[in-house]
Amino acid sequence: MNTPLTAHRNLVTLVQVLRKLERSRVPADPEQYRSLVTHIQDELRAHPRDAGLEALLAAVPELAELYENLNYEVAGLCRSPLEAAVRAEQQAREVIARARHQAAAS
């Protein structure tokens, strides 16, 4: 039986390696990291857009970010939470306003 999760077994394994590499205390070799990301991107390109892939993208932020970057031309930042982007913009505006106020007071 080929369920959505077994169909994505390679992708799951590659993402587990990526997580270990990113969370390691030992700095990753840039070529190793680049090669791993390339393999993950190839897997993403080869897989159909199905429920299994959607479940993985929802569960693994690193994978969702790579997926979003691959599809940026046609979808923009379609997987990025809008609320987080709005909060970041509001915080940036507040910091800029405070900096302007401090500069004007000087």
- pLDDT tens digits for range 81-93: 557 667 778 899 9
Instruction: Give the residue with greater pLDDT, 41 vs 52.
Output: 41
Query: Nearest CA to 39 among 16, 61, 5, 57?
Result: 16
Tell me the average pLDDT across 70-76: 64
**pTM for the whole structure:** 0.61
pLDDT tens track for 10-50: 888 999 999 999 889 998 899 999 999 999 999 988 887 78
CA 14 to chain centre: 14
Binning pLDDT at 50, 70 and 90, where does residue 94 land?
A: very high
Rg over alpha carbons for the chain, rounded to the nearest Å, is 19
Return d(Cα 53, Cα 104) in angstroms, integer. 52
Crossing angle of the two packed helices 9-23 and 61-70, in degrees rounded to 10: 110
Tell me the average pLDDT across 45-74: 81
Per-residue model confidence (pLDDT) at position 89: 81
